[in-house]
């Protein structure tokens, strides 16, 4: 085989163990370089799959009792503008999206690609929001909890319990609070991706309405561009009045 043909075989993982053994005996340097890269990639894939399976440990406790559990996460606690967005996601044993992980560890392109796949594979998905007015009324922490409760209440299937990323949801369902839960549970990780993609899309739409603030770039966070626009034009109706420096305009 030519090196090009071997490269295609390896890329498609379309070769037997015997073929791999024979290729390892190939004296061509180009072939050996391809084999080394292939084997390193196989190790990475195995490690990634093992980590993915490990992130089912909390879900497994409920699945073994034929119960469903929902992962809950939020995004948008820190921005100066826009809502806090939460998601509740229920998955089952058939969930096989190995790339699902803490949304902060994924590129925007990867999150966008995973979003519809999560919606397709999940047993149930629900979004909960708390807008800037509610945040100003009851503070960001309590608004976050309200948004989480709304997400859980919106699920079409009621879970037996919740896995929550370092929060307590004000709802009468047993809960397990996990520090950095989006890195420990695939349910929470899926929820983190759904919430992030949904909020980013929402802030992109606000960016069309208020183009001066660069919401499509900063998602409402206090970047230099955003702060400069705030100083020049003042706050918009979606800014959080209780957050400094937005609050300075309402003294």
pTM comes to 0.87
- pLDDT, residue 77, reads 96
Is the pLDDT reported for residue 15 higher than 90? no
Nearest to 67, CA basis, from 228, 183, 187, 224: 187
- Rounded to whole angstroms, the Cα distance separating 75 from 57 reads 24
Q: Three-state secondary structure along 8-70? A: HHHHCCCCCHHHHHHHHCCCCHHHHHHHHHHHHHHHHHHHHHHHHHHCCHHHHHHHCCCCCEE
What tens digit of pLDDT does each residue of 164-188 get?
A: 988 999 999 999 999 999 899 999 9
- Rounded to whole angstroms, the Cα distance separating 72 from 190 reads 9
- Rounded to whole angstroms, the Cα distance separating 124 from 131 reads 23
**Residue 41, token pair as written in the block:** 């990639």
Phi/psi zone of residue 219: left (φ > 0), alpha (ψ -120 to 50 degrees), beta?
left
13 band by pLDDT with thresholds 50, 70 and 90:
confident
Nearest to 28, CA basis, from 53, 3, 59: 3
Domains in the chain (CATH in brackets) are 3-54 (no CATH), 60-205 (3.30.420.10)
Element (H, E) at 193: helix 186-209
């Amino acid at each position: 085989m030519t090196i090009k043909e071997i490269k295609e075989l390896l890329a498609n993982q379309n070769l037997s163990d015997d073929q791999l053994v024979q290729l390892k005996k190939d004296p061509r340097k180009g072939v050996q370089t391809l084999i080394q890269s292939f084997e390193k990639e196989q190790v990475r894939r195995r490690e990634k799959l093992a980590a993915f399976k490990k992130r089912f440990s909390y879900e497994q406790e409920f699945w073994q009792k034929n119960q469903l559990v929902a992962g809950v996460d939020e995004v948008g606690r820190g921005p100066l503008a826009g809502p806090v967005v939460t998601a509740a996601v229920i998955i089952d044993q058939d969930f096989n999206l190995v790339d699902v992980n803490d949304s902060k560890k994924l590129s925007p392109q990867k999150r966008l690609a995973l979003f519809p796949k999560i919606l397709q594979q999940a047993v149930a998905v629900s979004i909960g929001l708390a807008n800037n007015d509610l945040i100003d009324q009851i503070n960001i922490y309590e608004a976050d909890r309200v948004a989480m409760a709304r997400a859980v209440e919106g699920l079409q299937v009621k879970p037996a319990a919740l896995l929550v990323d370092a929060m307590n949801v004000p709802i009468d369902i047993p809960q397990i609070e996990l520090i950095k839960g989006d890195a420990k549970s695939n349910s929470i990780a899926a929820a983190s991706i759904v919430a992030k993609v949904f909020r980013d899309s929402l802030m992109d739409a606000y960016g069309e309405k208020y183009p001066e603030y660069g919401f499509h770039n900063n998602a409402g966070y206090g970047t230099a561009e955003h702060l400069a626009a705030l100083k020049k034009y003042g706050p918009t109706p979606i800014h959080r009045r209780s957050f400094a420096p937005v609050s300075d305009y309402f003294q």
